[in-house]
A and B are shown apart, each in its own frame.
Chain A
Amino acid sequence: MGMTVTEKILAAHCGRKAVEPGEFIMAGVDLAMGNDITAPISIEEFGKLGVPVWDRERIALIPDHYQPAKDIRSANLLKQMRDFARKHKIKHWYEVGDAGVEHTLLPQKGMVIPGDLVIGADSHTCTYGGLGAFSTGVGSTDLAAVWATGEIWLKVPESMKFVYTGKPAPWVSAKDIILEVIGRIGVEGALYMAMEHTGEAVKHISVEGRLTVCNMAIEAGAKSGIFEADSVAQAYSRARSGREQSVHRSDPDAKYAKTVEVDTAKMEPVVACHPLPSNTKKVGELAGMRVDQVFIGSCTNGRIEDLRIAAYIMKGKHVHPDCRTVVIPATPEVFRQAMKEGLIDVFMDAGCSVQSSNCGPCLGGHMGVLADGEKCVSTSNRNFTGRMGSPKSEAYLASPSVAAATAVKGTVAHPREVAGEPPEVK
């Protein structure tokens, strides 16, 4: 029987020719990642074992949620992580200044390449499927066990196939595509499954866009998301890592639990309304809704392409006086590139607060926490009650272009209203 790309990667990591959905396997891990929120618990659990780490070169420790330390207690968590990294000589430890949002940093630094199996103690670890890797989020204790053994038990997921047809309509981005999908299938529509993204529209979705699509697999309850690594994805990783890539493709007779087709040519930009990522509306349906804050950044949309399109819309304009705007380039590399291209000037001229690379207000901890009754349009991935601050605040998820247009107008806006037609894509 044919296998999916996900099944092939899992088989390759447990020394088997074939695996089937529903089977439990013990899989070898290429990289195990933790952050400043999740790693401290892993460190405590790992300490109880009294064994050395399995491979100091295949552990990544990325402070990003609350770095630079926002208060004494987060400083202590960061210290715990730093001390552990030094003690065990962890190769991929990134200090404040070199660190950034983990799921943007790992692909950029070539720590993840096509065919890898990556485990991370962060639910958005599913992002790396954008490069043709299998990656999934786990908790801290699971991570601690991987640090000790280099292995993890996994249930081989069923795959759900998404076929994207057409050329995405003007202003329809990768973010809109994944929000549309979640709106259709619901927040548990792909529970425990691997979401496999295919179809002729994929060639119009950049590697960065594919990372955005896979980033939100967890928002549909999925275990992972994946695009097959085409020549573009392979080139992206080759420029960043000399490691040999394993490129897998789904067989024509591979089995899928379900197939969903999306005609991207007929789509419009989408906004996911408070309090669920599946609560989607076309942007026009929210026209006129006042917004107190816009956030452009996060592991979903804090990459250079996201900042380019946001700056394209804001150039020569100022954000609405009643809509403060926070822009956070996800990593120092993104930040530097944005500076070179003059994007930071555009944002600062527009009155945006530009912050150093971290998760920012996405999870309501710092750098733009919402007050009672406030509404925020955010390029991040979650809009649960209280996610971005007060339990009486509301978050709305959107693409960088919708977020930028909204910042300028002060009410939810279609990018066309502010910037006309989108720039030509090369």
Chain B
Amino acid sequence: MAFEGRIHKFGDNINTDLIIPARYLITTDPAELAAHCMEDEDPDFPKKVKKGDIIVGGNNFGCGSSREHAPIAIKAAGVSVVIAGSFARIFLRNSINIGLPIMESPEAVGALKAGDSVKVDLEKGTVETTGGKKFSARPFPPFMLEIIKAGGLMNYVRMKKGVK
């Protein structure tokens, strides 16, 4: 799985209340959630974000609530992959489970700026800038790669339970 896109950069501890405030948790509709994605951190983000764009966050990205609405909002906003220094654990699980690609690469986060364009290869675990700089990401354990390859947790469970 490879992606190419333009970067939106955020800081450390981007929490789920910033990603999608609880006042919008009266719906599970991805498009509606996307319309408010990140708005308490950057009110213009829902208007600025384009299909294929990449979010780069700092450490502890996605901390806070267990709301799956957060990765759903990011995915539905068109974001192709989230790169962060580290992810909060529930957000990490949720992203893999719903099929939002994520990568942990503190080196890439330190070097990348808003507006940069990068190529990301999820399987190889690499991030490459248009200038040719290359960064590596922490590899996923085989366990998680299986879920990612199945296209999320529900497909994985379906396979395991033999449901067509």
Write the residues of chain A forming the contact surface with B, with a CB cutoff of 8 angstroms: 24, 37-38, 40-41, 44-45, 48-51, 65-66, 71, 73-74, 77, 120-123, 125, 137-142, 144-145, 148-149, 153, 155, 187-188, 191-192, 218, 221, 223, 276, 363-365, 369, 382, 384-387, 391
Bound Cα distance A260, B151 (Å):
41
Contact A142 B93 (CB under 8 A): yes
Most buried by A among B17, B158, B160: B17
Contact B153 A141 (CB under 8 A): yes
Contact A142 B26 (CB under 8 A): no
Write the residues of chain B forming the contact surface with A, with a CB cutoff of 8 angstroms: 13, 15, 17-18, 21-23, 25-28, 40-41, 59-60, 63-69, 71-72, 86, 88-90, 93-94, 97-98, 141, 143, 152-154, 157-158, 160-161, 163
> Closest residue of chain A to B39, judged by CB?
A391
Contact A363 B94 (CB under 8 A): no
Contacts of A187 in B (CB 8 A): 13, 60, 63
Contacts of B94 in A (CB 8 A): 138-142
Contact A386 B17 (CB under 8 A): yes
Query: How many residue pairs bridge A and B at CB < 8 Å?
Result: 139
Contacts of A144 in B (CB 8 A): 153-154
Bound Cα distance A360, B60 (Å):
27
Bound Cα distance A44, B28 (Å):
10
Contact A391 B67 (CB under 8 A): no
| A115 smallest CB distance to B (angstroms) | 23
> Closest residue of chain A to B164, judged by CB?
A50
Bound Cα distance A145, B163 (Å):
13
| Given A51-B161, A145-B154, A188-B13: A365 touches B25 (CB 8 Å cut-off) | yes
26 A-B Cβ contacts within 8 A? A41-B28, A48-B158, A49-B157, A49-B158, A49-B163, A65-B22, A121-B68, A123-B65, A139-B71, A141-B98, A142-B97, A142-B153, A144-B154, A145-B154, A149-B157, A153-B143, A188-B13, A188-B60, A188-B86, A191-B60, A363-B22, A363-B65, A364-B23, A365-B25, A384-B18, A385-B17
Contacts of B161 in A (CB 8 A): 49, 51, 148-149
